[in-house]
Structure 1
Amino acid sequence: MASNQNRRSAIKKMLAGTATIAASGVLVTSFTQPEKDKQMAADTLKGNINHAVCQWCYSSMTVEELCIAAKAIGIKGIDLVGPKDWPTLKKYGLYSSMCNGAEINLTDGFGDKQFHAQLQKNYSEMIPKVAEAGYKQLICFSGSRRGKDDETGWNNCVEGLKPLVALAEKHNVVLVMELLNSKIDHKDYQCDRVSWGAELCRRLGSENFKLLYDIYHMQIDEGDVIRNIRDHHQYISHYHTGGVPGRNEIDETQELYYPAIMKAIVATGHKGYVAQEFIPKNPDKIASLTKAVHICDV
């Protein structure tokens, strides 16, 4: 318990310092970092990428603490928060760039008819809330295969999603299915290739259904990241990052070269968000987040 209190105390001190100097545009962290990392500031960002961050990766911090840090870095959105946290985001002028809270879990999704009734109830209630709050995107999942072939999975997803896509169109909300790897992290997940997700988009035929291209997951399951982004970008409305292997920092310790990937995303005309979804190994998590944003700021 004492160690947890010490960690929380350190975080609060760090964020207090961040808040104090945020107006000057310089992010200073309480842990040792190279001087060049300390000088990264929100006002140095180029503006070609709308930067966001996934809240769950910073579970040792409150949502408010993360908002303070994100604001100082120049991050515009927080991913994967539901209605209870939206007021905090609005307090700091941050956008809920990928809403959640309607899904059952990652395994029980639209690819299986037994979950349709519960999912349709959940999403029918959440879609209007997202719209009323002024937000745009709501995450969803295919769920596990459970022995189903591709055709059955597509047909089931279309059947379950079609009435919800119509409701989303009415409220100007986009349902976004995440691509997850089925090799390491989410065994048996069905929407594990961008081509599978793109085919589902074609069958639903609506601008209110898109894909979340998770770069970490797709590197594991299919690779060829830049080519796949170029070939399928019209079906992608959101991106997540993560270092491969391990889902840690996206720096030189892992195998992907994120500046080139970000340039490819910008070249497609993407106007949505790119959210950092790596789990920091560095004790100074905010320094890692700051560095990641600048790596991606092409």
Structure 2
Amino acid sequence: MNTPFTLAVCAEMQFTDLPFIERIKKIHSYGVAVELWNWTDLDLPAIAETGVPIESMTGYISGNLTDDNGIEAFLKSAAESARASKILGSPRLNFHGTGLGEGGIPVDPVDKVTGRMWAKAALTLEKLAGIAEEHDVIFEMENLNLAVDHPGTPFSHPSDILSLLGAVGSDRLKINLDLYHAQIGDGSLIDTCREALPFLGEVQVADVPGRCEPSTGEINYRNVGQALVDMGYRGTIALEAWAKYDSDRAITTFVDTFSNLKESAK
């Protein structure tokens, strides 16, 4: 594999017929790292014993960024997640604008984000940055689409997240830029990557429509990957997608898409 990026695959979405430990070993056999969702459902010591590198995991269990009870729950669970991440070597910790329930629907959906909610969210992220500093971890806020998968999620657009991160100004807080969600909600993926670059913690990919591997939809991920190389990004790109055909083909296609790109002359 000749790639300038660290490639990773979401374990909850590939080889779903295998027991979890065997699943992450199978994914790693392709030369890629692994990402996890809800760590509370998993045997973290057993995962650590496999030696498979874990790039990210869920960074909160409940709560939200904007009301007092929700903020307390969010920050408490973020600290728990930070402690749990140490078992796996402190992977980056992912979170959203609010807690998600069954099927990815927000527990407390929002019709309109008010100015008060923006102010509360910025103060919450300042406190989250303090937790990140205390535990020596990175928290990443992921953008989500409203039209298909996550209606009612506040702070769902990349521009929303970048505004919050700019207001807080902490190196411990980054954006997890999910290009599947960004394509549905915003488009202009290369420009979005460029705008996010100063805060970019990782990039997640899946094609549109269908949320399957690259080359199954409308996004030219080969061009996106080359643009990321040209703008100097060398971090993680993760496949957070379902397999359209089978997991072997999905992961192989993903790896091929982001390999053998031209190094930037800059």
> Which range, TM-score by smaller chain?
0.7 to 0.9
Question: Per the alignment, in what secondary structure is the counterpart of residue 37 of structure 2?
Answer: strand
Cα distance in 2 for partners of 1:49, 1:67 equals 19
Cα distance in 1 for partners of 2:43, 2:204 equals 20
* 1:265 aligned to which of 228, 231, 234: 228
* 1:135 aligned to which of 90, 105, 108: 90
Question: Per the alignment, in what secondary structure is the counterpart of residue 36 of structure 2?
Answer: strand
Whether contact under 8 Å (1:69, 1:286) holds in the other structure is: no
Cα distance in 2 for partners of 1:87, 1:126 equals 14
Whether contact under 8 Å (1:182, 1:190) holds in the other structure is: no
* Identity between Structure 1 and Structure 2 (%): 24
Task: Label 1:186 to 1:241 Cα distance change in 2 as closer, same or farther (>3 A).
Answer: same
Whether contact under 8 Å (2:97, 2:156) holds in the other structure is: no
Whether contact under 8 Å (1:52, 1:79) holds in the other structure is: no
Whether contact under 8 Å (2:7, 2:33) holds in the other structure is: yes
Whether contact under 8 Å (2:222, 2:257) holds in the other structure is: yes
Cα distance in 1 for partners of 2:221, 2:50 equals 28
- State whether structure 2 residue 232 is matched by structure 1 residue 275: no
Q: TM-score, normalised by structure 1?
A: 0.77
Whether contact under 8 Å (2:213, 2:242) holds in the other structure is: yes
Q: How does 1:1-298 map to 2 (within 5 A)?
A: 45-58=1-14, 59-80=16-37, 82=39, 84-100=42-58, 102-104=60-62, 109-131=64-86, 133-143=88-98, 146-149=110-113, 151-251=115-215, 253-282=216-245, 284-297=246-259, 298=261
Cα distance in 1 for partners of 2:232, 2:253 equals 24
- Matched residue, 1:27: none
- 1:92-151 Cα shifts (integer Å, max 9, x gaps): 3322211226232xxx52134441111121112222332464214111111266244353
- 1:179-225 Cα shifts (integer Å, max 9, x gaps): 00011111021222211110000111101111111010000000000
Q: Show structure 2 runs of 5+ residues with no match.
A: 99-105, 262-266
Please give the root-mean-square deviation of Cα atoms over the aligned residues, in Å: 2.1
Whether contact under 8 Å (1:79, 1:275) holds in the other structure is: no
- 1:274-294 Cα shifts (integer Å, max 9, x gaps): 110111121x32222222221
Q: How far off its partner does 1:81 sit?
A: 5.4
Cα distance in 2 for partners of 1:81, 1:270 equals 27
Question: Per the alignment, in what secondary structure is the counterpart of residue 57 of structure 1?
Answer: coil
Cα distance in 1 for partners of 2:114, 2:206 equals 27
Moved over 6 A (4+): none
Task: Label 1:132 to 1:277 Cα distance change in 2 as closer, same or farther (>3 A).
Answer: closer
Whether contact under 8 Å (1:89, 1:95) holds in the other structure is: no
Q: How far off its partner does 1:164 sit?
A: 2.3
Cα distance in 2 for partners of 1:131, 1:123 equals 13
Cα distance in 1 for partners of 2:25, 2:87 equals 24
Whether contact under 8 Å (1:276, 1:292) holds in the other structure is: yes
Greater Rg, structure 1 or structure 2? 1
Length, aligned pairs only: 249
Q: Show structure 1 runs of 5+ residues with no match.
A: 1-44
